[in-house]
Amino acid sequence: MSLPRIAIDAMGGDHGVRVMIEGAALARRRHDRFKFLLVGDEERIKRALDNHPNMRGASEILHAPEAVSGDEKPTQALRRARKTSMGLAIDAVKKGEAGAAVSGGNTGALMAMAKLSLRTMPGIDRPALAALMPTLGDTDMVMLDLGANTDCDARNLVQFAIMGAAYSRIATGLPEPRVALLNIGTEEIKGTDVLRVASEKLRAADQRLAMSFEGFVEADKINRGSVDVVVTDGFSGNIALKAVEGAARFVTDLLKSAFQSSLRSKVGFLVSRPATELLKHHLDPNNHNGAVFLGLNGVVVKSHGSANAKGVANAVAVTARLLEEDLIERISADLARGTEDKTADTAA
């Protein structure tokens, strides 16, 4: 099965062209049906392609004279969109020249450009940033919003839940993902009015949607595997994400320090190395790379800026899966079911 080609912002990410091209090449070695539109400095891309002959017949280069810097304000980046690799990659999706875009660049600029160029889907007020996170369960967990919208009302949260469940079904294969709202407690009386209203709306729509609404979940339970989709506003979501990432780094650094503290500890490390390698693999963000802007009229995936080639390849694989499974059509169908009048259901 052939796929629409994927536009790669080759200038995005902390490591630039070399790692973005290396990651795309790795993804293509795993799945030779992938094709790419490589956007950025033409000469630098050509030099990078010299090391990856498997990319030559599967890639086209679109020259972009400029790139968006990591500290650039979204408003500044928007003014230069038509000259930057990020802006031209998104524009290729808008024009139908690519099925999706992947960038490791400035998140705020990517969100602003994608929203302005692609617009939101009918029935969606605001797009949300969603990502997969590891859990103790059998599958990863989807969390959104992770920073695109700092203030949200109940309607936004309901839309996020519907989009997150559709994404989870694609990413995890679960037919009815368990969805919960992030809150300071699990009791129905806890939290803000916005959360309680959103909870009521989701309970009312639960039976019409391919998901199971579980109510509220606390932050210390989000990685336990008890829910499959965690929904929150972008402010709380970004804080929760950074806290989880920081805790993961703390644990790995603490273990490293402990194992180096004495000769006995070093021997213990050798004995327990299989377990520590498994832990390292589970916590490595490159193995879960590829956050998605849900709710746009097009697929845009954000790769972590510090991702290595393996991480970029995983982001490309996520993008391809969303194209294969027609994410936008799934969200549209779920929105239609989730907003049906309950009287119509009763009459039927």
Task: Please report, for the domain that includes residue 262, its CATH number.
Answer: 3.40.718.10
Is 232 among the domain residues?
yes
Residue 280 is predicted with a pLDDT of 57
Same domain, 209 and 135: yes
Residue 241 is predicted with a pLDDT of 85
Order across the sheet with 291-294: list the strands: 59-63, 36-40, 6-9, 100-103, 299-302, 291-294, 128-133, 141-144, 229-231, 178-182, 212-217
Residue 345 is predicted with a pLDDT of 40
Is 102 among the domain residues?
yes
pLDDT surpassing 90 at residue 13: no
Same domain, 286 and 236: yes
Same domain, 135 and 278: yes
pLDDT surpassing 80 at residue 268: no
**pLDDT band (50, 70, 90) for residue 260:** confident
Cis before residue 9, ω within 30 degrees of 0?
Answer: no
pTM to 2 decimals?
A: 0.85
pLDDT surpassing 90 at residue 14: no
Same domain, 211 and 247: yes
Is 25 among the domain residues?
yes
**pLDDT band (50, 70, 90) for residue 59:** very high
3-state secondary structure the chain: CCCCCEEEECCCCCCHHHHHHHHHHHHHHHCCCCCEEEEECHHHHHHHHCCCHHHHHHEEEEECCECCCCCCCHHHHHHCHHHEHHHHHHHHHHCCCCCEEEECCCHHHHHHHHHHHHCECCCCCCCEEEEEECCCCCCCEEEECCCCCCCCCHHHHHHHHHHHHHHHHHHHCCCCCEEEEECCCCCCCCCCHHHHHHHHHHHHHHHHCCCEEEEEECHHHCCCCCCCEEECCHHHHHHHHHHHHHHHHHHHHHHHHHHCCCHHHHHHHHHHHHHHHHHHHHHCHHHHCCEEEECECCEEEECCCCCCHHHHHHHHHHHHHHHHCCHHHHHHHHHHHHCCCHHHHHHC
Interval 167-195 mean pLDDT: 92
Residue type, 206: D
Same domain, 86 and 108: yes
pLDDT surpassing 50 at residue 322: yes
Mean pLDDT computed over every residue of the chain:
86
Same domain, 29 and 100: yes
Q: List the structure tokens of 98.
A: 């690519």
Same domain, 262 and 302: no
Same domain, 167 and 271: yes
pLDDT digits (tens, 9 = 90+) for 110-157: 999 999 999 999 989 999 999 988 888 888 899 999 988 889 999 999
Same domain, 191 and 85: no
Residue 252 is predicted with a pLDDT of 72
Q: Which domain holds residue 280?
A: 125-292
Same domain, 288 and 299: no
Same domain, 177 and 106: no
Q: Do 110 and 302 contact (CB within 8 A), yes or no? A: yes
**Is the C-alpha dihedral spanning 195, 201, 204, 210 positive or negative?**
negative
Same domain, 187 and 288: yes
Residue 342 is predicted with a pLDDT of 45
Interval 259-269 mean pLDDT: 67
Reference 164, options 338, 287, 286; nearest CA is 338
Interval 271-277 mean pLDDT: 57
Query: Regarding predicted confidence, which is higher, 248 or 8?
Result: 8
